[in-house]
Amino acid sequence: MIVMAGNDSQLSRRSALKVAGGAVVAGGVTVGAMGKGGSDGRDVIVGLEADASPDVAASKADSVKRTMDFGNVGTAVAGKFSEEAIKGLQKTRDVRYVEEDGSMHALHHRDGHDGGPGGGDDGGSTSQCLPWGIDRTDSEVAHANGETGNGATIAIIDTGIDSDHPDLQGNINTSLSKAWVKCKGGSCNYPWDDDNDHGTHCAGTADAIDNSQGVVGVSHSADLVALKVLDKRGSGSFSDIAAAIEYCGDNSDRIDVGSMSLGASSGSQSVKDACTYADNQGVLLVAAAGNDGPCSDCVGYPAAYSECVAVSSTNDSDNLSSFSSTGPEVEIAAPGTDVYSTIPGGYDTFSGTSMATPHVAGAAGQLMANGASNDNARSTLKNNAENIGLASNESGAGLLDTAAALGLDSSDDGGTAGNCG
């Protein structure tokens, strides 16, 4: 946890949260002093005022999953609560909200190319190709000019990352990586390993190594952090996702970008609180707009939150992808149709705003490696986006241009996308 020097009240509150969480959770089964719901309780998240003790909620729980601290925004307790306890908490002065601990999902478009878990090429590529999205965003121009993302750290908040993929292994920060949902299966070297494919695919687009095989990412020398919040089916709870975003904020001295290719059609106040906290701590949050298109005003959450850069998807003709959600929250577009990238054991082609999002996360890593703040990186990406003739609710400021954002001339890059996939 990050504590400002001299802020004794903040230190005391965070210490109290740890004590309360440890005393009440005790493996996630200890009954709170006033909990009466037993196994019939509901999984909810109770949001509290910043100066309130977490015990206000924890003491009413049948079991506590975790406590979360969002700084000045407030705290939250996730757990199982009886209906009686929920009704009482809704009337309690220090309680800001009580919400269901719902779920969010990976956002790749299953009607396009999608190998699914274990799909795609089942081996390493003998030569490196340039994916069309890396070429279209002029990210290879940045590489040619020595811009690699070295020094930045990009967290992939997703299904995990394949820990021994040759295009990713050298960039993964294993000490910072963490799982809230553990990897299941025989290929799980770490709890945060990928048992779905989705997170590894996103990681490759953001930051695959330039190593003469497979693919190369928008950045290729940044650190990658796997924050596994989605299970092997690509689903995860609000509380796990909020905790991972909180983790980014707590480690903002080491994590620059949080990439979230996940979402839901309805929001979560706890996830919103976590986004506010991480943004305030200096982390740039990038999120997929959603795959509900064709539609209007349909950007999902957390992308719709003002703390997140909402990313829509384009195809290789610079048209809006047919599946891409649109709305006034969209800030920038990036390639998302037929994107070739890494998966556990090889490579595959996926489509979705999930695939567009890590293009922007990788470019943000490039800027933050050079010392940009999260706010500065966000405005720089938008101010240098390319106008491709789409409406603002479809592409925001335009199409991502990594080279232009770095102050490079990409008018005649000479790059040619390889025969990927």
Q: Is 354 a catalytic residue?
A: yes
- Residue 209 near residue 128, CB atoms below 8 Å: no
In order, the DSSP letters of 168-210 are: TGGGB-TTT-EESS---STT-SSTTS-SSSHHHHHHHHHH---
Tokens of 144: 């040619």
Number of CB atoms found within 10 A of residue 350's CB: 31
- How buried is residue 35: exposed, middle or buried, by Cβ count under 10 Å (0-12/13-18/19+)? buried
Cα 30 to Cα 25: distance, rounded to the nearest angstrom:
6
Residue 158 annotated among the catalytic residues of the structure:
yes
Among this protein's residues, is 198 annotated catalytic?
A: yes
Count of residues making up the chain: 421
For 45-86, the DSSP string reads EEEE-TTS-THHHHTT-SEEEEEEE-GGG-EEEEEEE-HHHH
Residue 39 DSSP class: G
> Which position among 113, 143, 198, 220 bears the catalytic label?
198
- In contact, 264 and 128? CB cutoff 8 Å: no
Q: Is the peptide bond before 344 cis (omega within 30 degrees of 0)?
A: no
CA 144: distance to chain centroid? Answer: 28
Q: Give how far the C-alpha of residue 185 lies from the chain's centroid of Cα atoms, to the nearest Å.
A: 23
Structure-token pair, residue 214: 């497979």
Contacts of 49 (CB under 8 A, 6+ apart): 74, 75, 94, 95, 96
CA trace torsion 286, 289, 290, 294 (10° rounding): -160
In the numeric block, which tokens belong to residue 78? 């996730």
d(CA 228, CA 230): 6
Q: What does the alpha-carbon distance between residue 67 and residue 45 come to, in Å, rounded to a whole number?
A: 9
Q: Which of 158, 193, 279, 292 is catalytic?
A: 158
Residue of 249, 256, 282 whose CA lies nearest to 14: 249
Q: Which of 354, 359, 401, 410 is the catalytic position?
A: 354
Residue located via tokens 């990928």: 194
Residue 151 φ/ψ region, left for φ over 0, alpha for ψ in the -120 to 50 degree band, beta for the rest: left
Distance CA 364, CA 361 (A): 5
Q: Which residues are catalytic?
A: 158, 198, 354
